[in-house]
Amino acid sequence: MYWGSVRFFKHLILSTVALMIIVPTVLAVYFGMENHRSKQLAEEYKKYASESQLPKMEYLTGVDYSEVITVPTFPYQTEYPDMYAERSAFVEEDSEKPVVYLTFDDGPSANTERVLDILKANDIKATFFVVNSDIEAHQYLYKRIVDEGHTLGLHTYSHQYLNIYRSVEDYLADFDKIFTKVYELTGVKPTVFRFPGGSINVYNQQIYFELISEMLRRGFVYYDWNVSSGDAGQTYTSAAIHQTVVNGAMTKDKSIVLMHDSSTKYATADALQSIIDSLKETHEFRPITNSVEPTVFTYEDNQR
Ligand SMILES: [Zn+2]
C-alpha cells in the first residue's frame, strides 16, 4: 500500500522541500525580470522624453509616442488649426523651499473676486483653470486673472463630462470654444489646462489615451494634482480645507493643490488666507507655467 507508507511520507517530504525551494526561486526570477524590464522601460522613456522635451508620463512608457505625434492619422488632427500651443522645455525647480502651486478650477464665479483680492493682498500668483461663465458680471474676470499675473489655464467650456468625453472630437470642439473665448477676452492663448475630473477618470476611460495624445500633439500641457483640498465633496468646512492643504503641502517638495472657484465654494475662499498664513514662511507660492513639469495621473492611480 503506497498511500500512508513510509515511502509515501518520504516522497511527500521531499516534494514539499522541493516545492519550497522551486516556487520562491521561480517567483524571484520572474519578479526580478519584471523589475528589470520596467526599469529599462523607465530609462528608455526618460531618455526619449528628455531628447524630445515631451512631458514625462509613465503611462506612455514603452509606447512609440513619436508615431502618435507626427503621423496625421485622425481627421480631427486637421481641425481647429489655430488651437495649438508652443511647448516649452521643463525647467527644474530652483527653489530652496518647497513650492506650492495653488490651482483654482471651475471659475470664474461669484467667489473669484474675493480669491483674487486675497492673492493680491498677499502678493501670491496662482493658476486658474477656467470654464465658460455666461454671467455678464464675470466676463471681466478672465482679463483680471491675466492682468494680475496669474496663469490662466483652460478647463473646458461646458464642463459636462458626458458631452466632452463622448469622443476626442467632442472634447476638441468644446476646448476650442473656451480657447477662443479666452483669447478674445484677454489676448492670451493659454498653454496649460486641466481635464475635468483629472486626466484619467471614469468618464474618459475609452478615449483618454487618444485624447491626451492629441492634446499633447497640439502642444498643450495638462496638470493633474497631488494635493486635493477636498472641497469637491459635499461636506467640508474651511477649517478642514485648510488642514488638508497644509498637511499635503508639508510632506511634499512640490505641491499642485486642487481647489475650486465655483459659486458654491465660498468655504475655499474662506480658507485661503489661513492656508497662505500657514505656508508662507516655509513654502514658496508660484503660478504654473508650461515649463513646470506636470504632475499627471497614471492608469493605476485611477484603479485605486
Ligand atoms: Zn472642474
**62 — alpha (psi -120 to 50), left (phi > 0) or beta?**
left
Q: Which residues surround ligand 1, an ion (CB under 5 A)?
A: 105-106, 196
- For 273-294, the pLDDT digits (tens) are 999 999 999 999 999 999 999 9
- The answer to whether position 188 is within a domain reads yes
For the chain, counts of helices (H) and of strands (E): 10, 8
Question: Which of the 8 DSSP states describes residue 73?
Answer: -
- For 18-62, the pLDDT digits (tens) are 788 887 776 666 666 656 655 655 565 555 455 444 444 444 445
Q: Is the pLDDT of residue 181 over 90?
A: yes
- The answer to whether position 20 is within a domain reads no
Q: Structural domain of residue 163, as residue ranges?
A: 58-303
- The answer to whether position 9 is within a domain reads no
- The answer to whether position 108 is within a domain reads yes
Cell of 16: 514539499
Please tell me the distance between residue 302's alpha carbon and the centre of ligand 1 in angstroms.
Answer: 17
- For 50-96, the pLDDT digits (tens) are 544 444 444 444 555 555 555 567 899 999 999 999 999 999 888 99
CB distance 259 to 236 below 8 Å: no
Please tell me the distance between residue 48's alpha carbon and the centre of ligand 1 in angstroms.
Answer: 32
pTM summary value: 0.77
Provide the domain count of the chain: 1
- The answer to whether position 85 is within a domain reads yes
CATH number of the CATH domain containing 236:
3.20.20.370
d(CA 92, CA 31): 33
Catalytic residue positions? 105, 260
| CB neighbours of residue 176 within 10 Å | 15
- The answer to whether position 75 is within a domain reads yes
Please tell me the distance between residue 105's alpha carbon and the centre of ligand 1 in angstroms.
Answer: 5
